[in-house]
Structure 1
Amino acid sequence: MDWLTGEFEPFEVREPETQTIPFVFNSPHSGRHYPAQFLAASRLDALGIRRSEDHFVDELFADATHFGAPLLVAHFPRAYLDVNREPYELDPRMFEDPLPSYANIGSMRVAGGLGTVPRIVAENMEIYARRMPVADALARIETIYKPYHACLRRLIARTHARFGLSILIDCHSMPGNIKVAGTDARPDFIIGDRYGTSASAELSRAAIQFLEDMGFNAVRNKPYAGGFITEHYGRPVRGLHALQIEINRSLYVDEATLEKRPEFDLIAGVLSTFMRQMVEFAEAFSIEATLAAE
């Protein structure tokens, strides 16, 4: 059962009864519904193709709606389509026929095999057994990528109109072996704000402090500063803030089996506390911003 047959929606918005806080939560990489047609075209087995998922991140942030914020959740997998990219970052090596002239074939992400339609999962595991038609990639972009971003834009615009402020939290997970550049430190969380361009520094510092106060190693921007979503939707001078949070998935998932660890509920509780603290901070932050503007 999948969206290719019209039996399943590729994404959904989980809404509170009433939105009461200026936050939007987004989980673009936790999708785990793989169309049969896609699996048939892959050289990977059912476990290998899941290596790029942000496993269960939508569940970790499920309390967002209880706090009064919408949560946008992808059901399509990142291996199928990556909405945290420009719309047409495409690798010509993947396709039977030429790409359109407007495709971005030269980005670092394309070179690494991680374009809008990825060529690989995890560490250089090729997805496809053979080249695919360009029309297939363009169809994914038209029918899923563009509607997904249109939905996200509406949520952000609605939030900003209602509160005069919008804070997007883009929710991700990272492999357990990730280290901070030049050190042996393996962070538990990384907060990305595109080096201060996608969100207020006060928000970023608060997020780091809340996580550290709970006993976790939290760092800012390195090695993940945020992707297309954070960069594209963060306009702090206009009251549009975007933060990316990366969670070390070894905290809550067995990375060999991709099954939840016994600590899963503990980490979900940590993130619930984190969301509550961010909401409380944002209330004071919003008041200060209002006073400064008067």
Structure 2
Amino acid sequence: MEWLRVHRGDAPLVIAFPHGGTDLAGLDAQFVSPWHAQIDTDWWIADLYAFAADLGATLVATDISRSVIDMNRDPSGASLYPGQATTELCPTTTFDGEPLYRFDQPDEASITQRLNLYHRPYHDALSEELGRLKAAHGRVVLYDAHSIRSHVPRLFDGELPQFNIGTNGGTTCDPRLETIIANICGASGYSHVVNGRFKGGWTTRHYGQPEDGIHAIQMELAQRGYMAEPDPITHANWPSPIDPNPAIRPVLEQVIAATLDFAKGQA
């Protein structure tokens, strides 16, 4: 499975990248255009956190685009945010509500096939790494890494805070971990929110079992912190390159270091 990339570390921290891929799994012709199918990628997210490998973190990333199948959605198809605009397990629109497919949308057989080919193997890998590290350390943190454009009117009003911490209302990790990360973001000078528009997706909610030693937290970054966000976004200017020295990287380095300290029982 060349589309699934696992870097194994020995520290009690797994960082997941479910939305950083652009591979359309050979379905390019079904989409309005490859660019439309890739517009909502969590651009450069694995590059932004690459430093964590040197700290011993395990990194799990998929190269499959979220437009093929969203690794952070409930495999049953149930909505994570009932009553709010969102995208499906196999999305049919972009975040802006534009159609993704030229003609027919994925049918039940196609969705099942994508689940078996991509969604399940990705989560099998996450489960394996979490189990391995929990057995070695007794406690492990799953940090689900995301990013999104700062302005997506269909999904949220105004400008998204720079750091969006999600723990599904404080249920997916020890409250101390949530507080530690929120305090770092709060002291950074950048805007932040805890359990705002993004409370943690299926990954965070599914794996977060703090009473059993697995602590899960989602971090949704506004992309302006590490890349230019042109207005309007066009084929010619999007995606923009990653900033070689992102202003928010020192904050992320503090967050990951503190998360590791917590996982090791040092915080």
The two structures share one fold, judged by TM-score above 0.5: yes
Residues of 2 paired with 1:147 and 1:68: CA distance?
23
Secondary structure of 2:221's match?
strand
Residues of 2 paired with 1:136 and 1:75: CA distance?
19
How many residue pairs match? The answer is: 258
Q: Which has the higher contact order (CA 8 A, sep 6+)?
A: 2
CA contact (8 A) 1:251 1:263 kept: no
Residues of 1 paired with 2:101 and 2:160: CA distance?
32
Counterparts of 1:159-198 in structure 2 under 5 Å?
159-177=133-151, 186-198=160-172
Residues of 1 paired with 2:85 and 2:158: CA distance?
24
Secondary structure of 1:121's match?
coil
Deviation readout 1:112-166 (Å, 9 max, x if unpaired) = 5622111111210111111144322211101111111111111111111111101
Q: 1:32: which partner in 2?
A: 22
Q: CA deviation at 1:209?
A: 1.1
CA pair 261-164 structure 1, distance change in 2 beyond 3 A: closer
Residues of 2 paired with 1:46 and 1:185: CA distance?
27
CA pair 200-117 structure 1, distance change in 2 beyond 3 A: same
CA pair 178-41 structure 1, distance change in 2 beyond 3 A: closer
Counterparts of 1:267-278 in structure 2 under 5 Å?
267-278=248-259
Q: 1:126: which partner in 2?
A: 99
Q: 1:98: which partner in 2?
A: none
Counterpart AA for 2:111: A
Q: 1:215: which partner in 2?
A: 189
Residues of 2 paired with 1:129 and 1:233: CA distance?
36
Q: 1:145: which partner in 2?
A: 119
Does 2:34 match 1:41? no
Secondary structure of 2:121's match?
helix
Secondary structure of 1:148's match?
helix
Secondary structure of 2:112's match?
helix
Residues of 1 paired with 2:80 and 2:261: CA distance?
39
Residues of 2 paired with 1:150 and 1:84: CA distance?
13
Larger C-alpha radius of gyration, 1 or 2? 1
Return 5+ residue gaps in structure 2 as ranges. none
Residues of 2 paired with 1:279 and 1:182: CA distance?
31
Secondary structure of 2:14's match?
strand
CA pair 264-51 structure 1, distance change in 2 beyond 3 A: farther
Q: Give the TM-score taking structure 2 as reference length.
A: 0.87
CA contact (8 A) 1:113 1:119 kept: no
CA contact (8 A) 2:69 2:114 kept: yes
Residues of 1 paired with 2:151 and 2:211: CA distance?
36
Does 2:3 match 1:10? yes
CA contact (8 A) 2:151 2:158 kept: no
Give the superposed CA RMSD: 2.6
CA contact (8 A) 1:30 1:75 kept: yes
Q: 2:89: which partner in 1?
A: 116
Residues of 1 paired with 2:225 and 2:245: CA distance?
8
Secondary structure of 2:203's match?
helix
Counterparts of 1:83-122 in structure 2 under 5 Å?
83-89=71-77, 112=85, 114-122=87-95
How many percent identity over aligned positions?
25
Q: 1:3: which partner in 2?
A: none
CA pair 178-47 structure 1, distance change in 2 beyond 3 A: closer
Q: 1:260: which partner in 2?
A: 241
Q: 1:101: which partner in 2?
A: none
Residues of 1 paired with 2:101 and 2:151: CA distance?
26
Residues of 1 paired with 2:13 and 2:120: CA distance?
22
CA contact (8 A) 1:60 1:267 kept: no
CA contact (8 A) 2:184 2:251 kept: no
Q: CA deviation at 1:262?
A: 3.4
Does 2:95 match 1:72? no
Secondary structure of 1:71's match?
strand
CA contact (8 A) 1:188 1:216 kept: yes
